[in-house]
Every structure is written in structure tokens, then in C-alpha cells.
Structure 1
Amino acid sequence: MKKYNIVICGGGSTYTLPMVKTLLDNTEKFPISNITLFDTDESKQQKIYQAAQVMAAPIGVDIAQSYQLAETFSGADFVFMQIRSGGLEMRELDEKIPLAHDCVGQETCGAGGFAYGMRSVVDVVDIVKAVRGQAPEAWIINYSNPAAIVAEATNRVFPNDRKIINLCDMPIAILDGFAEALGTERQKLTPRYFGLNHFGWFTHLYDEQGNDLLPGIKQRLTEGNMMPEELKEDSDWVKTFEQLSKMATDLKGHIPNTYLQYYLYPEYIVSKSDKNYTRANAVMDNRLQAVQDQCDFIIENNTIEGSGLERGVHGTYIVELATALAMNEKKEFIMIVPNTGIIPNFSYGAMVEVPCVVSKNGAEPIHVGEIDTFYKGLMESQYAYEKLTVDAILNRDYDAALKALTLNRTVVNVDTAKSILDAFNTQMQFNLK
């Protein structure tokens, strides 16, 4: 069997070691010759690289690292993109500037997602150009946030590149929660889903016998009885599932992605937010140190045994997708693809998130059909925001940026949008004109 060369962009990410572990655990099904970690921040990547070397040595997989685009992608078969442009320091501003104006402060939704997108798109486009210059046939699996804006931009800049795959693991994380509640495995469930990234709904959930289990899930949500056991210790996730239960109770119809809480209850979200200590602060204070400690343990003991390192939803889903592409498995995945009639009464060409059948030829979306007025109205407005945001990024256009933020349901007011935009423009030097 062919052995594949993998490049992980964002090698210094806290998600990298679980990703590497997942790859190494699956080499019988998805053989690997080499894994290269790429990051522009040497201080963040170095220990992760050393720990990855310890993990890979017994299996005979080579681990390399790089800090320069020009010398990274030659010979690559797959490029996994998980970059965080600006790092956690910029994420903190993404969250705190909107909160200072009584708007939702979240890294991918609302004004915070807009600011994150202003940085991410530029870097993602540069990386894709570098990949295509060195490895024209490599699959690029992009799950860098904000995925909706990044997907819109890559589709616009590289319209004919069928080997750029955009996706997000959040629907899968939700499905894992559903599977746990049902006492089964996610891989035994077949979801039907539509929307935009972080802005979608589950319509059906079939088991292996074709039974729709979603009505039972909705009943449990309305009873407040759906919190996955493994997430009960994380207060942010507890709040997230509480809001999912509220959404399922308040609005009849499909079960929403958890991220819709930010758009449907923005005032409540702001009222429960700490404007001085956001999720970015929690990650910096806790997760970063935990990953460093884990790396130190692996390096010092020359083993991952006892380190507590586990696979995550994030890595598992990406490796499953890469395997389906390489091995022509024709499995279903929820992905972000152009709307070419998948949802006939929604904007043609918009990047929609829907189930797709994945083979060696890429993603073949499954037809959704027309959607009801409520969902269509929400999605058209959100897509207009995403489209204008990409206009603003690619053209450095202040007017497009202001209109984008005004359209976003977490902002709405023009004066507020202008104040937030001006703060972003000054503090982050976006140079919008």
C-alpha cells in the first residue's frame, strides 16, 4: 500500500498531539511515511515536535518540522490546516472588543468571528498558494476557523480547485453527544443536516435499520436530559447544552447547531459573559499549560504511557475523512460545499454545510431540497454577512465591513457596528479604507 506524506499546518496547536496520535493509531488502514509540522511560531511548535518524535519512533513514521512556507509541502499528499492567525492574544481581543460594546464576544460568531476572519483568510490563501506551487495534487483539508468565512474565500480565490476540502468538527461533536445518549457510536448513525457553518440544523438521525432517532433526541433535549457525561466537568459545555435544550424547547422544528445560541439569544449570552475574562483567557491559563506539561512528560519519559494523551473528536474526524479520500470509501461526512442546487431556494453558490459522500474523487453533496421560510431567512442574512466580510477582506473595504457587521444578528445597530469596526481597525491594524 502507498504510504502518505502529511503536513499539519498549525503544528504548534494544542490540537496537534491528539491529531498525531490518531494518525499513528490508524497506520494499518491509512499508512503514513512522514508527518511534517508547520508553524510560524517556533516556541509553540518545538516541544510538540519533540513529543511527536517520541510517539512516532516505535511505528517507524518520520516526523519533521518547518517554519517556512517555501520548504514545507514538496511531496505532500495531504495538508491538514488548523491555523490560528494571530494566536490566542488576538483571540482575546476578538472576544473582548465586542463585549465592551455589549455584543457577543465569541471567536467564530458575530464581530469576533469577523475579526478572526480578517486575519485567517489572508494566511489561508497564502498557504494554499504555497501548497499548489509545491504539491499541485495534494488534498488540502481545511478546518481553520472561522470556517464559513474561510470557505467562502477559498471558493472565491480558488474556484476550480476540487481538492480543497472545507469542514468543521462541531456537528460531529454534537453527534457524539447524541450517540452517547443513545448508547451507540457516531459511526452507526446517519445524520441529515443543512445550513451554513456554525449556523445549521439536524433534520433526521437514522440508525442502521433506518429508524429516525431525532424525535427521541429532541424529547430528551426538552427535558434537559442530554448532557454528555464526558463534558459534565466543563462549565462552558454545560451552559452550551443547556442553551441547546432551550432552543429545542422554544422553537419547533429541527434541532439547531449549538452555535446558534449566539445568534438567537445574543442579549442573554452577553449578560452571562465576563467581559474581563473570556474563553481565550481560560485557554491561555489552563489548556496551554496542560499541553506543555504533557509534552514535557512524553519527552522526559520517552513514552506517551501515563501522559493522559487521548484522541479527540477533532483528530478522529479529520483522519476518517482523509482515509475516505485515500481509500475511496464512499462514506458520508458533513462538509462545506458550494450550493449548486442542493438547497434550491437558497442563494446559488453559497458555501453550505451538508452531508456529502466522500470518495477518491472528492465530495458529492446529498440533495437537501427546499427549506422553510424561517431557516431560509436566517441563512440568507447570515450568508450576506459572510459574503460582505470576504469582500471587505479581499478588497480592504471599510464600507463592506461596516455593512457586514450591521447585518450580523449579534450586532445589528449601525452605530454599534461602526464603533466595533473602528476599534478592530485601530487595534488590529486591518487598514480598511
Structure 2
Amino acid sequence: MKKYNIVIVGGGSTWTPGLLQSLCKNKDVFPLKRLVLYDINPERQEVIGEFAKILFKEKYPELDFEYTTDKEVAYKDMDFVFCQIRTGGYEMREKDEKIPLSFGVIGQETCGPGGMAYGMRSIRDMIEMINDVRKYSPDAWILNYTNPAAIVAEALRRVFPDDKKILNICDQPVNLLRSYGRLLDMDPNEFEPVYFGLNHFGWFTNLYDKDGNDLVPKIKEIILEKGFAPVDAEQRDQSWLDTYALVKDMLQDFPDYLPNTYLQYYYYPEYKVKKLNPNYTRANEVMDGREKRVFEECRRVIKAGTAKDCSVIHNDAHGDMIVEVAESIAHNRNRIYIIITENNGLISNIQDDAMVEVAAILGKNGPRPMGVGKIGTFYKGLIEQQLAYEKLTVDAYFEGSYEKALQALTLNRTVVDAKKARKVLDALIEANKEYWPELK
């Protein structure tokens, strides 16, 4: 069986240890010859990298492993690039969340003004990364987790229209599928989903078991009666438990389909603003929680010299999914995953150049997405408003247009009011001077 070369871009991420564990777990079906961690932050990466050396010595001794800040070392002769970068780090994420909240607007990492700020920062680095990869590995598959995936995917569609080996994906639909599996006491790998929408803005219309039975009615019934929790609830911070719990409210109000959890920010912006603490946001929760736990555990492993009894994994769906996606491509498995792709009639009554999120069969030639046909007026209206926000945000980046950025925020359901949008935008421009293009 062929062995593959992989680079993980954003090697110093708190998600990396779980991804490394997934590579170990899947080494028999997706064997590696070489693995490189690449990050521009050498201090963070050193901790994860030294942890990885110990992990691989025990679980993957045959693997050629190193970590680096050198692009040529990272990208040369790669088969797959796993990308999970965070431009500006948690310092800028905190501003993304707290600045909008200071004006009474949703402060969230990927939704609303915070998503715009993060997206405008991510575009430049993603374009640079892809150009660097193509210089050293022109045929590598680039599997991108970088958020906000919808804005990033739209920007990359424009810059690299002919590159068919860039795949933008998100692990939240997989988290939901696993959570449905826990709810039903079933194996989620046997589910066949039907899904439509935009990234962090979509719905499961059907979910079939291996015998072709639709499980959605049963899932709705259980959630409406007993509530909903993530599959890894015991490892989640309180904010995520609250996020999943609100799925019950969404189903009570809009019972047609099973919603992506992020839709709560668009359905209930006033309610969510009141529930969010402007002085202690999700970024603070992560920095005080997962960030500390992961790095403390990695340092403990390094000091002990063994990764046995390691408890560093959080949300293994993140690592498992990207490894399974790469394996499905490499070995032409033709499994079904929910991916982001150009619409081209998949949702027949919205524009073709939308970057939509749908189920697709995934093999060595890339995704073969599954269309859903026409969607109802309510869902079409929601999607088109959000899509306009995403496209205008990318317009604002490439055109350096203040007007387009203002239009984008005014359209976003988490903001709506143009005067409030202008205040938030001006504050975000000031905070992102080092990252955004100048908007005129």
C-alpha cells in the first residue's frame, strides 16, 4: 500500500494533538511515509512538535516526522496539505467577539461582524499558503479547515478557479451526525445524509440508515422531548452545551429540518446578545480551558517521556474527519461527506456561483456533490441574504471597498441596522489595521 506525505499547516494548534492521534489510529488504512508540522509561531509549535515525537516513538516509530517554520521543508513533495490556520491568533479572536458585543451586536468567531473580521484576515494568508504549496507540490490535495470557511471558500474560488484539488470542509456537520448517533445509539458512519445550505448555515433534510429508513422524524421527536447534547458533551465547555441545547428551540420554531447549531445566531440575535458576556467571551473560555489543558498535557508528556495515558484529545471528530477524507480521496473510497463546493444548480433556485455546503461522494477525482433541487421561500431568503453578506465581504477585501463592507454588515442578520453596522465596522477596521487591506 502506498505511503503518503502530509503537512499540517497550523501545527501549533490545540487541535493538532487530536489530529496526530487520528493519524496513528488510521495508520493501517492510511499509512504515512512523512509528516511535517508547519507553523509561523515556533514557540507553540515546539510544544506540540516535541509531544508528537514522543507519541510517534511509541505509536508510529516508522514515520519520518519533523516540525519546521521553513516553507520549502514543509511543502516540498507533499501528497496532502491539512490546513487549520488562525491569522491573528486568540488575541484577535477575542477582539472579534468583544468589539461587536460592545455595540450590542453578536460577537462570535465565524458569524456576524466577528466572522467578517476573521475572514478578511484569513484571505491573505490562505492565498499565500496555496501559492507556496503549488510552488513545491503542484499536485497535492489541500484540505482546508480554516475559518470562516464560507468567506475563505468564496475568496479561493475567485483566485484559484481552475484548481480542483482545493477542498474546503467543516467538521460541524460531522459533530452533528455523531451526536445524532449517540441520540439513537447507532453508528453515524452508516448514516446517509441529505444536507443543503452555506457553511455554518445549513440543514439536514433527511438522514437515512443502511436500510433506507429516514431517521429525521425520530431525531426530531427525541430532541423535542429530551433536548440535545453533543456526542462529546463530557469534554465540552458550557457554551457548547448551551449551543446544542438551543437546537430544541429552533426545531420548535422551524420544524421542517434539523438545523446546524450556528443558525441560532441568525434566528435569535437579540436573545443571543443578551446571553453573551461582553467581558468574558468564548475566546476567553478557550484560552482558559482547552488552550491551557492541551499545552499543559503536552508539556506533561514531554517531561514524562511517554504519551501513555495521554488525555490531550478534545473533539476527535476534528482530527478523524480530515484523516478519513484524505483516505477516501487517496484510496477512492467514494464515501459521503458534507463539503463546500460551487453551486452550479445543486440548489436549483439560488445563483450558480454560490459556495454551498452539500453532501458529496468523495474519491480520488474529488467530490461528486448531490443536488437537492428547489428549496422553500423561507430557506431561500435566509441563504440569499447570508450569501450576499459573504460575497460583499470578499468584494470589500479585493476592492478595498468600505462601502461593500458596510453593505455586507448591514445585510447580516446579526446586525441589520446600518448605523450600528458603521460603528462596528469602524472599530473593526481600527483593530485590524495590521491585517486588512485599506478600505476606502
Give me the TM-score of the superposition, normalised by structure 2.
0.96
Structure 1: segments with no counterpart, 5+ residues = none
Alignment of 1:135-214 (within 5 A): 135-214=137-216
State the AA in 2 paired with 1:415.
Answer: K
Task: Point out the more displaced range, 422-431 or 112-121.
Answer: 422-431
Residue 293 (structure 2) aligns with: 290
Q: State the Cα deviation string for residues 154-212 of structure 1 (Å, max 9, x = none).
A: 11110011100011000110111100011012101111100000000010011111100
Secondary structure (helix, strand or coil) at the match of 2:329 reads helix
Residue 309 (structure 1) aligns with: 312
Secondary structure (helix, strand or coil) at the match of 2:29 reads coil
Residue 89 (structure 1) aligns with: 91
Q: Work out whether 1:240 is the aligned partner of 2:243.
A: yes
Contact 1:77/1:138 (<8 A) preserved = yes
Contact 2:298/2:312 (<8 A) preserved = no
Alpha-carbon distance, 1:108 to partner: 0.2
Secondary structure (helix, strand or coil) at the match of 1:144 reads coil
Q: State the Cα deviation string for residues 313-360 of structure 1 (Å, max 9, x = none).
A: 100011110000000001110000000111111111110000000110
Residue 358 (structure 2) aligns with: 354
Alpha-carbon distance, 1:394 to partner: 1.8
Pairs aligned (count): 433
Residue 39 (structure 1) aligns with: 39
Secondary structure (helix, strand or coil) at the match of 1:72 reads helix
Alpha-carbon distance, 1:234 to partner: 3.1
Residue 79 (structure 1) aligns with: 81
Secondary structure (helix, strand or coil) at the match of 2:371 reads coil
Alpha-carbon distance, 1:293 to partner: 1.2
Question: In structure 1, what is the Cα distance between the partners aligned to 2:123 and 2:102?
Answer: 25
Alpha-carbon distance, 1:55 to partner: 1.1
Secondary structure (helix, strand or coil) at the match of 1:324 reads helix
Residue 275 (structure 1) aligns with: 278
State the AA in 2 paired with 1:181.
Answer: L
Task: Point out the more displaced range, 90-99 or 281-290.
Answer: 281-290
Question: In structure 2, what is the Cα distance between the partners aligned to 1:96 and 1:329?
Answer: 44
Contact 2:175/2:230 (<8 A) preserved = no
Contact 2:178/2:231 (<8 A) preserved = no
Q: 1:432 aligns with which of 429, 434, 439?
A: 439
Residue 347 (structure 2) aligns with: 343
Secondary structure (helix, strand or coil) at the match of 2:57 reads helix
Identity %: 48
- Tell me how large the CA RMSD over aligned residues is: 1.2
Question: In structure 2, what is the Cα distance between the partners aligned to 1:154 and 1:356?
Answer: 20
Task: Point out the more displaced range, 55-64 or 381-390.
Answer: 55-64
State the AA in 1 paired with 2:94.
Answer: E
Q: Work out whether 1:380 is the aligned partner of 2:387.
A: no
Alpha-carbon distance, 1:228 to partner: 4.0
Question: In structure 1, what is the Cα distance between the partners aligned to 2:330 and 2:362?
Answer: 10
Alpha-carbon distance, 1:229 to partner: 6.1
Residue 251 (structure 1) aligns with: 254
Contact 1:49/1:63 (<8 A) preserved = no
**After TM superposition, which residue ranges in structure 1, 4 or more long, deviate above 3 angstroms?**
none
State the AA in 1 paired with 2:222.
Answer: R
Q: State the Cα deviation string for residues 265-301 of structure 1 (Å, max 9, x = none).
A: 0000000110000010111112111111111122122
Question: In structure 1, what is the Cα distance between the partners aligned to 2:412 and 2:361?
Answer: 32
Question: In structure 2, what is the Cα distance between the partners aligned to 1:268 and 1:374?
Answer: 21
Residue 4 (structure 1) aligns with: 4
Question: In structure 2, what is the Cα distance between the partners aligned to 1:66 and 1:369?
Answer: 46
Residue 30 (structure 2) aligns with: 30
Residue 391 (structure 1) aligns with: 395
Secondary structure (helix, strand or coil) at the match of 1:223 reads helix
Alpha-carbon distance, 1:427 to partner: 1.8
State the AA in 1 paired with 2:332.
Answer: N
Q: 1:330 aligns with which of 309, 320, 334?
A: 334
Contact 1:297/1:307 (<8 A) preserved = no
Task: Point out the more displaced range, 187-196 or 58-67.
Answer: 58-67
Residue 368 (structure 2) aligns with: 364
Question: In structure 2, what is the Cα distance between the partners aligned to 1:228 and 1:283?
Answer: 17
Give me the TM-score of the superposition, normalised by structure 1.
0.98
State the AA in 2 paired with 1:52.
Answer: A
